[in-house]
Amino acid sequence: MTNLVLLQCDPSCPHISASRIAREMQSRAWVQLQTIGDFMVPPPVSILPPGPGVILPTGGSSGGRGLCLQPRCHLDRSAAATAAWLRTIDLAPADCLILNPLPLHHISGLMSWWRSHCWGASHHWLSASLLKQPLELERSCALIPNWEVDPVLLSLVPTQLGRLLENPIGLRWLQRCAVIWVGGAILPRWMVQCAREARLRLAPCYGATETAAMATAQTPQAFLAGEGGCGCPLEDVELKLAANGALQIRCNRLGVGLWRNGQLETVQDPNGWWHSSDAARLTVVNGCYHLLVEGRIDGALLSGGETVFPEQLERRLLDQAKAASLPLAAVLVLAIPEREWGERPVALVRWHDSIDIDKHQSEHLESLQLMVRSWPPAERPLYWYHCSELRPGPAGKWQREFWRCWLRHRILVKGRPN
């Protein structure tokens, strides 16, 4: 009989939750990973295939929130593919120290731990709050056995990377790492430049819950040599583009089902391809496809006949604000309907906590508006909204539908700015 276990992952003690996952999967159960306060309705046990496996929330790359079913053997295959990638850059997986600051209920945090489980490598949890205190982070890691000896593997989302880059101690700590995988969103140009100047061994990567995490990864050597994008596919992955430019992936570890809107959907098409909602370009580098993610297909807006990708505008805003010394901490670009243009972009912004919002917000917003005057009209935000709560989700991806609802409510209550 198939068994389903609901497990709330407490971020204060991930090791306890991880031990429970291993134990339940050893008993051939399906384990649905939940966050505290997030109670997504589980699929009926009667429709679950034989276990063991995990059921995780998804929606970042496939579009539409749901639950993805990943058998344990797929997690094993993903770990094996990542191990093979490490060997191509002369690292022995079992000899590495894995540092994990990502949430366990997300595929990236789960797989960081599971790789250590498969490889026999050392693994150490890092709390998200510790990454905001670089001095304490450095002191804490100095106490880890073999910290100065073992090659350190680290997975981050861009938000975490940006905080560490802006602190000299955080930057010094990052320089200790042999590989820094960064996924979840497109890297702003200033982060790329800062990381290269500091000779950080970044490995921008692409993956999803549906692919059991990492599907492509750029080598640190290629990153430092100036290559952009998310690298080449891992050894078990095939890539292609759909007619609309959306990335498609085929591999032997695609999820076996997606529970969404009360139905169990298939993850792959009849030919075995998973269809992402990410617009991409594929170029040939050294005989293999090289992935460049451009933005979201489902998040793209049509403004005056031009297709506009919000992620590209967000990255440009952050880069230009950084260059202009504006204290912009976060920006999210959304669309609103407009009679003449069809849709127009609007920007939600959050300033760094250190500024006096009441005193300086108006001048900072004026600076942003001046900054984008040279942009093409279709890309220029029509309105700007300050939102002190504006933050991506714990995995570094924006919950765009949530913020669309926030924006609709704001316009309904207060109307559009003049």
List pLDDT tens digits, range 278-330. Answer: 999 999 988 899 999 988 887 788 787 777 889 889 999 999 999 999 999 99
Residues 223, 227, 228, 234, CA torsion sign: negative
Q: Hunting for tokens 């995490």 — which residue is that?
A: 213
> Mean pLDDT over residues 360-377, rounded?
89
Six-digit token string for 395: 């995995």
In this prediction, residue 64 has a pLDDT band, given cuts at 50, 70 and 90, of low
Higher pLDDT: 193 or 35? It is: 193
Amino acid 61: pLDDT: 57
**What are the chain's domains?**
4-296 (3.40.50.12780), 301-414 (3.30.300.30)
Strongest mean pLDDT among 29-33, 60-64, 339-343, 386-390: 29-33
Collapsing DSSP states into helix, strand and coil, what is residue 202? strand
177-210 pLDDT per residue, tens: 999 999 977 888 899 999 999 999 999 999 999 9
Whether the CB-CB separation of 398 and 387 falls below 8 Å is answered with: no
Q: Measure the CA angle with vertex 67, ends 63 and 69; round to 5°.
A: 115
CA-CA distances (angstroms) from residue 240 to 21, 23, 122, 208, 349?
A: 34, 38, 35, 16, 35
pTM reported for the whole predicted model: 0.84
235-245 pLDDT per residue, tens: 999 999 999 99
DSSP 77-112: HHHHHHHHHHHHTT--GGG-EEEE-S-TTSHHHHHH
Whether the CB-CB separation of 118 and 79 falls below 8 Å is answered with: yes
Half-sphere exposure of 133 (CA within 13 A, CB side): 10
Amino acid 39: pLDDT: 67
352 pLDDT higher than 70:
yes
Whether the CB-CB separation of 177 and 164 falls below 8 Å is answered with: no
**Alpha helices of 246-374 — where are they, by DSSP H?**
310-323, 357-371
CA-CA distances (angstroms) from residue 365 to 346, 368, 372, 416?
A: 13, 5, 11, 16
Whether the CB-CB separation of 180 and 201 falls below 8 Å is answered with: yes
Whether the CB-CB separation of 274 and 375 falls below 8 Å is answered with: no
Amino acid 128: pLDDT: 87
Whether the CB-CB separation of 399 and 393 falls below 8 Å is answered with: yes
> Mean pLDDT over residues 256-280, rounded?
94
Higher pLDDT: 93 or 364? It is: 93
Residue 383: Cβ-neighbour burial (10 angstroms; 0-12, 13-18, 19+): middle
